[in-house]
Structure 1
């Protein structure tokens, strides 16, 4: 669950999002690197951090949000072809979290389907690699994973390590020390 002090949530909300201004905005010319004045004209396309774009959208629909490049048809086709080989971290390290926050804000509702398909198809590969790969193949695989997938990979790896330790004779059930004491019983007289 993201929180106010969660560094991953802060970094995710700093991802650049393309917006189109629906109104002329005075005093925000610094947001548009191509602006010659201190105002952004209606219809200007500007890249803003997600947190700012979301704030401007909720402020009387001042902007409209375009889906980020990581949710394009090209990426969708690559995921459909071979999901495990696509380097999603390069496109957006917080793809799933950002996608979940963007879906209600944009008109393209296929993003939800894209996220579900990408995660389910990559999830199988993540679990398979975490349970069976050697330490030599991990450095080639992990850099292609998003932050969420990396957490799943590390959790599965820890789980498998614990399982192997248990199978090899790790912690076994032990008899409680209180049960070892002999009881003194009194015989009725």
Structure 2
């Protein structure tokens, strides 16, 4: 899932192919396992570096998080304890808070042509939120126009079997 999110790790040694202290890019699942075995140390990934943080602070709504990491929030939650950077969690929360209202507003108001452009900068988590908001609004409109006000539960129409 996080293969698009590249991390650079420093190897401690013990590998015959890689020199001790070398920086190597590995997929997250492998790096996490090596970290738990105390074979590597993990540097803060580029998608959480100071440049990205400054861009988010300036205007979070217009930052293309998908190009940095498609699973930006989930990856951030998993990488923060491994790199020992407590500020990543705060940055993830503030980023989500700044983008949340904009995502929901656009899910309810933006035309289809504009939506496709907007969706290209959203992470997978944000895209799921956007689609859920659209579905919710469509269901509400259907109900409001005159859909059934109450639906009878299928269980209510059946009679109980006699106990023998």
TM-score normalised to structure 2 length: 0.87
Pick from 142, 146, 158: which aligns with 1:165?
Answer: 142
CA distance in 1, matches of 2:73, 2:3: 12
Q: Report the counterpart of residue 107 of structure 1 in structure 2.
A: 84
Superposition misfits of 4+ residues, deviation over 4 angstroms: none
In structure 2, stretches of 5+ residues that fail to align are 153-164
Q: Report the counterpart of residue 54 of structure 2 in structure 1.
A: 77
Q: 1:173 to 1:52 in 2, by over 3 A?
A: closer
Q: Report the counterpart of residue 141 of structure 1 in structure 2.
A: 118
Please say which structure displays the higher CA radius of gyration.
Answer: 1
CA contact (8 A) 1:12 1:97 kept: no
Q: Report the counterpart of residue 21 of structure 2 in structure 1.
A: 43
More helix by share: 2
Equivalent pairs, count = 152
List per-residue Cα deviations over 1:87-120 (Å, max 9, x = no partner): 1000000111111110110122111111111111
Name the SS of the counterpart of 1:25 in structure 2: coil
Q: Report the counterpart of residue 25 of structure 1 in structure 2.
A: 15
